[in-house]
Amino acid sequence: MKSINKLQQKWGVGKLQFWLIMTTFALGGSLSGYLNKQILNLVFLEKNAAYWLIYPLLLTILWPFSVILVSFLTGQFSFFKGYLGRMWGRLSGGNSNNGSAAPVSPIHVAIFASGAGSNAKKIIEYFENKSTPVKISLIVCNVPGAGVLDIAKSKGIPTLMINKTEFESTGYVESLHNADIHFIVLAGFLWKVPEVLVNAYQPGVGDAKGIINIHPALLPNYGGKGMYGSRVHEAVVAAGEKETGITIHWVDAHYDEGDIIFQARCAVDPSDTPTTVAEKIHVLEHQHFAPTIEKILLKK
Report pLDDT digits (tens) over 8-49: 656 656 678 788 889 999 999 999 999 989 998 888 878 888
Residue 102 maps to a domain: no
Nearest to 195 by CA among 220, 170, 176, 178: 170
**Pair 56, 37: CB distance under 8 Å:** no
Confidence of residue 154 (pLDDT cuts 50, 70, 90): very high
Question: How much is the pLDDT for 206?
Answer: 81
User: What DSSP line would sit under 43-73, residue for residue?
Assistant: H-SS--HHHHHHHHHHHHHHHHHHHHHHHHH
112 and 254 share a domain? yes
* Residue 215 among the catalytic residues: yes
**Can you give the C-alpha Rg of the chain in angstroms?**
23
123 and 83 share a domain? no
Report pLDDT digits (tens) over 78-133: 778 777 776 776 665 554 444 444 456 889 999 999 999 999 999 999 998 788 89
Question: How much is the pLDDT for 97?
Answer: 46
**The model's pTM:** 0.70
Residue 170 maps to a domain: yes
Residue 100 maps to a domain: no
Enclosing domain of residue 68 = 2-92
233 and 118 share a domain? yes
Question: How much is the pLDDT for 293?
Answer: 96
Chain-wide mean pLDDT for the chain?
Answer: 88
3-state secondary structure of 122: helix
88 and 118 share a domain? no
Separation between Cα atoms, residue 254 and residue 205, nearest integer Å: 20
86 and 111 share a domain? no
Question: How much is the pLDDT for 99?
Answer: 45
Report pLDDT digits (tens) over 201-213: 998 888 899 999 9
Question: How much is the pLDDT for 85?
Answer: 72
Mean pLDDT of 181-198: 94
Domain count for the chain: 2
39 and 171 share a domain? no
Domain boundary among 24, 57, 92: 92
Length in residues, the chain: 300
168 and 287 share a domain? yes
Supply the CATH number for residue 243's domain. 3.40.50.170
Report pLDDT digits (tens) over 208-254: 999 999 999 999 999 998 898 899 999 999 999 999 999 999 999 88
177 and 238 share a domain? yes
126 and 236 share a domain? yes
The burial of 54, by beta-carbon neighbours within 10 Å (0-12 exposed, 13-18 middle, 19 or more buried), is given as middle
Mean pLDDT of 130-158: 93
Better-predicted residue by pLDDT, 91 or 64: 64
Nearest to 241 by CA among 266, 205, 204: 266
140 and 87 share a domain? no
Residue 205 maps to a domain: yes
Among the options 215, 233, 254, 288, which is catalytic?
A: 215
150 and 62 share a domain? no
124 and 79 share a domain? no
Residue 98 maps to a domain: no
